Chains A and B, each alone.
Chain A
Amino acid sequence: MRNFFKRQGKFQPRNGDDRNDQIIPEDLWVKCPKCSELIYSKELDRSARVCPKCGHHFRLRARHRIRLLVDPGSFEEWDTGLRPEDPLAFVDGQGPYPDKVERTQLKTGEVEALITGVCRVEGRPLVLVVADFDFLGASMGSVWGEKLARAVERAGEHGWPVMTVNASGGARMHEGLFSLMQMAKTVSAFHRLGERRLPHFSLLVDPCYGGVTASYATVADIVMAEPGALIGFAGQRVIEQITRQKLPDGFQTAEFLLEHGMIDFIIERQQLRQQVRTLIDLYMRDGENEPAPVVATAASIDVDA
């Protein structure tokens, strides 16, 4: 087996979590970090980037997630013009914040870490909000808060349900207190949506930490998580350094959160679309796609008689 690797001079199986969507020749094969299976890249993409052998859920870019969930061609993206400012004139060891943003934009092909818009799932309208971990670790800054608030407000105006797909490495440190305040801004938007009795479905995906976990993502009406996703408030390294304790097995995994009563259920990626469709139908009872319930029909006959 080792000789086989040697013969293939360029053959470099990489941890699939590190790669982008684009396929380059060296990336034809991906090694599953969980079961070590070598998977043909195209096959992995066909299986929604879930390991065909062990079911490990690889990370997904935001646009890939949107493609998997929505009716083809139905996603209408909102507020693509919003860009971060530099209110702190922030400079760190890697230079000024605006330069960092620009480099990240070139590298990722995204202008910010959050994508918002409206789509259809099997014909049903849904406001969709998806985080992209590749963009500065999906750190929540002012653009994130503004895009999310606008999306949720529009959902309220039109009477649409909202689904958020949440990954985050924490706060956008470069935006200082503005970043922290986005926790308040996003929660308040959902508070208003709740007053209109419109549901918020939240899917937590790997990894989801910090201010996103401590704000709108965990106070949704339905909180779901992908199998194996790491979810928490404080990061594992921070906890280890501060407590000097060994972390329990499976600490902060989706399964751990389920056991501790923190999420409603775990959903496999291939089942998500069907599950979301079911949820929309359960909550959007007056929706355009909902056949009239039997009880209501009987009641209206009674009234007529």
Chain B
Amino acid sequence: MTTDVDEMTSDAPPAPTAWDRVKLARATDRPTTQDYVAALFTDFVELHGDRLFGDDRALIGGVARFRGSTVMVIGHQGGTNTKENISRNFGMPRPEGYRKAQRLMRHAEKFGLPIVTLIDTSGADPGISSEERGQGTAIAESLMTMFGCRVPIVCTVIAEGGSGGALAIGIGDRLLMLENAIYAVASPEACATILWRDVEKAPEAAETMRVTAADCYRFGIVDDIVPEPQPAHEAPQEVIAATGDFIEQALRDIQSAFDPETEDGVAAMLDARYGKFRAIGAWRDASLDALDSATPES
């Protein structure tokens, strides 16, 4: 189920700018993790708490049935109103959120359940108590956990993929992204403040940071784009259903590529997961340039 990006965007003049995509990704009515869980999963049993400190409502998860199979679903969750936003910390997880996610991943591993993650956060919580409880360490432990997790993992950026807070549930065998989702190392506002010293430059920052799904696909970071013929907040049921089809297909692809029921299959799957991230980077080797130029032209 490969989507041709050019084909997808060529018929739609004028193409939305990066900043338009940022605004679409952040649209208040855009479906959240809970909407996806309600529409695509049945028998969802939410599991709470990290067993260490608390329960982070900004990162939720549980077991559920997805297209006939039991899976573990984990996703960021913000609020739909001010009160809920405060209780869910605007979808910005604290260390206990990441530690809960790790617990659920180990749980999934124990029972051989594939993991589906839904990414939608502006970033990890930048608060005093989060620092006290080791925010950096918690995110790092999540990354480490996902690289070793012996079950298939499919990650989908459904709205805003913000920095380390997003990546912490973003390591998997397939990374999907909705057409109007964004994925960035820092918010355009933060980037504008740091590099232009002017938050008003956020639209320019969004453009130059290459945060759109098409960019991430072109860079080889994202495996597939879920098209949004209409933005997700205008046609939620259609976009959610399409997302479900992409996730199902991705899980099938992993199952057929690796046979994760066997030891060898798991080893091959983890090798491929390693290789996927090992290959990401943009650099050149100047010592090879030197060799090339030292070779006499014939």
- Chain A interface (Cβ < 8 Å from any Cβ of B): 79-94, 111, 142-143, 145-146, 149, 171, 173-185, 187-192, 210-211, 213-219, 231-234, 238-239, 242-243, 245, 247-248, 251-252, 256, 260-262
Can you show 18 pairs from A to B with CB atoms below 8 A apart?
A93-B196, A171-B185, A171-B186, A173-B209, A175-B282, A177-B219, A178-B221, A181-B281, A183-B143, A185-B277, A187-B144, A188-B277, A215-B139, A218-B140, A232-B135, A233-B130, A234-B130, A260-B133
Would you give the shortest CB distance from A143 to chain B, in whole angstroms?
5
Q: Range of interface residues on chain B?
A: 35 or more
B residues near A260, Cβ cutoff 8 Å: 132-134
Among A86, A180, A214, max chain B CB count under 10 A is at: A214
B residues near A178, Cβ cutoff 8 Å: 219, 221, 280-282
- Are B191 and A183 in contact, with the CB atoms below 8 A? no
- Are B281 and A184 in contact, with the CB atoms below 8 A? no
A residues near B127, Cβ cutoff 8 Å: 234, 239, 242-243
- Are A247 and B283 in contact, with the CB atoms below 8 A? no
B residues near A188, Cβ cutoff 8 Å: 143, 147, 171, 273-274, 277-278
| With contact pairs A178-B219, A180-B164, A183-B164 given, residues A242 and B126 touching in the complex (Cβ less than 8 Å) | yes
| With contact pairs A145-B281, A171-B186 given, residues A180 and B128 touching in the complex (Cβ less than 8 Å) | no
- Are B216 and A214 in contact, with the CB atoms below 8 A? no
A residues near B290, Cβ cutoff 8 Å: 81
| With contact pairs A176-B209, A251-B131 given, residues A233 and B196 touching in the complex (Cβ less than 8 Å) | no
Q: A123 to B189: give the CA distance in the assembly, Å.
A: 50
Would you give the shortest CB distance from B185 to chain A, in whole angstroms?
4
Further 19 A-B residue pairs, CB within 8 A, beyond A217-B136, A239-B127:
A80-B287, A93-B197, A142-B283, A173-B209, A178-B221, A178-B282, A180-B167, A181-B167, A182-B280, A184-B143, A184-B170, A219-B141, A219-B143, A233-B136, A239-B126, A239-B131, A245-B128, A251-B128, A256-B132
- Are B185 and A177 in contact, with the CB atoms below 8 A? yes
- CB nearest to A238 among chain B residues: B126
- Mark contacts of B180-214 with chain A using CB atoms, 8 A cut-off: 1 yes-contact digit, 0 otherwise: 00011110000100111110010000001111000
- Are B128 and A248 in contact, with the CB atoms below 8 A? yes
Would you give the shortest CB distance from B177 to chain A, in whole angstroms?
11
- Chain B interface (Cβ < 8 Å from any Cβ of A): 124, 126-128, 130-137, 139-141, 143-144, 147-148, 163-164, 167-168, 170-171, 183-186, 191, 194-198, 201, 208-211, 215-216, 219, 221, 273-274, 277-278, 280-290
Would you give the shortest CB distance from B168 to chain A, in whole angstroms?
8
B residues near A143, Cβ cutoff 8 Å: 281, 283
- Are B274 and A239 in contact, with the CB atoms below 8 A? no
- CB nearest to A85 among chain B residues: B282
| With contact pairs A81-B290, A180-B163 given, residues A173 and B191 touching in the complex (Cβ less than 8 Å) | yes
Q: A197 to B136: give the CA distance in the assembly, Å.
A: 24
- Are A181 and B135 in contact, with the CB atoms below 8 A? no
Q: A89 to B209: give the CA distance in the assembly, Å.
A: 9
A residues near B284, Cβ cutoff 8 Å: 82-83, 85
- CB nearest to A191 among chain B residues: B147
Q: A82 to B278: give the CA distance in the assembly, Å.
A: 16
- Are B280 and A92 in contact, with the CB atoms below 8 A? no
Among B126, B132, B194, B283, max chain A CB count under 10 A is at: B283
Q: A233 to B127: give the CA distance in the assembly, Å.
A: 10
Of A90, A146, A187, the contact of B283 (CB 8 Å cutoff): A146
Of A93, A180, A181, A183, the contact of B195 (CB 8 Å cutoff): A93
Would you give the shortest CB distance from A195 to chain B, in whole angstroms?
8
A residues near B183, Cβ cutoff 8 Å: 177
- CB nearest to A86 among chain B residues: B282
Q: A178 to B184: give the CA distance in the assembly, Å.
A: 9
- CB nearest to A140 among chain B residues: B185
Of A88, A216, A218, A262, the contact of B209 (CB 8 Å cutoff): A88
- Are A214 and B219 in contact, with the CB atoms below 8 A? no
